[in-house]
């Protein structure tokens, strides 16, 4: 077995160790896990391997419903993201939806550079659109690193708006007062989460002036 194969095999050893850990002091842990899920949170984050949703939130299996893609985008025509949101809201009744970006995001960085990225062009165009919407503010920032960080934050906020545009979120919030949508940024340098304190109700009101999907 070469080193690569050994590393691969190691995953199954890790898995057995993890099973033992989870069952320590609670023999029926996996019986409970198999019964069903009722997470309070939907987390939408970047696919970046350095930003593992459960770990950074300190949550166990069953506590957070997760959707990840490059640069944590919520694209209005993406059946995957839209399906996840609808299921999380209508079936799981999540109380909070979190869009979590991260400083040092390669997807956002790629969108800041003029280059043909093939299949990714259409995906990264979503971030370029965010740039265009805030071009005045962004061009006013001279330091490139600061501008990059700001685009990461603005992208998170814009994806929060995209979550709010969905019919299931609008209807549920008007009827039950949840889910509430939050925007976060994770910092790879210190591991800390920053809540961008997006003005959720204000965003919801503004979105509903143009995109209202709840008929009542």
Minimum distance, C-beta of residue 51 to Co ion, in the bound complex (Å): 7
Cβ neighbour number for residue 209 with a 10 Å cutoff: 7
Angle at CA 215, nearest 5°, toward 212 and 216?
110
CB proximity list for 40: less than 8 A, separation 6 or greater: 63, 64, 94, 95, 96
**Active-site residue, selected from the candidate residues 67, 105, 134, 182:** 105
**Active-site residue, selected from the candidate residues 17, 26, 32, 50:** 50
What does the alpha-carbon distance between residue 141 and residue 139 come to, in Å, rounded to a whole number?
5
Q: Site for Co ion (CB under 5 A): how many residues?
A: 4
Determine whether 105 is an active site residue.
Answer: yes
| Sheet-wide strand order for 96-102 | 64-69, 41-46, 96-102, 180-186, 193-195
Interface positions, 22-51, toward Co ion (CB under 5 A): 46, 48
Interface positions, 73-132, toward Co ion (CB under 5 A): 105, 107
Minimum distance, C-beta of residue 107 to Co ion, in the bound complex (Å): 5
The smaller minimum CB distance to Co ion, of residues 102 and 134, is found at: 102
**Active-site residue, selected from the candidate residues 67, 102, 172, 182:** 102
Angle at CA 91, nearest 5°, toward 87 and 93?
100
Minimum distance, C-beta of residue 52 to Co ion, in the bound complex (Å): 13
Strand residue runs (E) in the chain: 41-46, 64-69, 96-102, 180-186, 193-195
The smaller minimum CB distance to Co ion, of residues 107 and 183, is found at: 107
185 within 8 A of 143, measured Cβ to Cβ: no
Minimum distance, C-beta of residue 48 to Co ion, in the bound complex (Å): 4
Determine whether 48 is an active site residue.
Answer: yes
The smaller minimum CB distance to Co ion, of residues 84 and 105, is found at: 105
Minimum distance, C-beta of residue 160 to Co ion, in the bound complex (Å): 16
Told to check if 158 binds Co ion by CB under 5 A, we report: no
164 within 8 A of 207, measured Cβ to Cβ: yes
Residue numbers annotated as active site: 46, 48, 50, 102, 105
Residues near Co ion, by CB under 5 A = 46, 48, 105, 107
């Amino acid at each position: 077995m070469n080193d690569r194969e050994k590393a691969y095999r190691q995953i199954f050893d890790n898995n057995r160790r993890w099973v033992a850990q989870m069952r320590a002091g609670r023999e029926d842990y996996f019986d409970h896990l198999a019964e069903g899920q009722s997470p309070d949170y939907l987390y939408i984050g970047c696919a970046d391997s350095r930003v593992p949703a459960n770990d950074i939130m300190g949550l166990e299996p069953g506590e957070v419903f997760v959707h990840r893609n490059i640069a944590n985008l919520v694209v209005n025509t993406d059946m995957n993201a839209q399906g996840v949101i609808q299921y999380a809201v209508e079936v799981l009744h999540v109380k909070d939806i979190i869009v979590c970006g991260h400083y040092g995001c390669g997807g956002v960085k790629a969108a800041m550079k003029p280059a043909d990225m093939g299949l990714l062009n259409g995906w990264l165009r979503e971030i370029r659109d965010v740039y265009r919407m805030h071009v005045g503010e962004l061009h006013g920032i001279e330091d490139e690193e600061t501008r990059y960080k700001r685009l990461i934050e603005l992208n998170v906020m814009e994806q929060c708006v995209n979550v709010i545009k969905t019919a299931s979120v609008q209807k549920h919030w008007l009827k039950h007062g949840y889910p509430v949508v939050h925007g976060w940024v994770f910092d790879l340098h210190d591991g800390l989460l920053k809540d961008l304190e997006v003005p959720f109700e204000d965003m919801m009101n503004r979105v509903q002036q143009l995109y209202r999907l709840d008929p009542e």
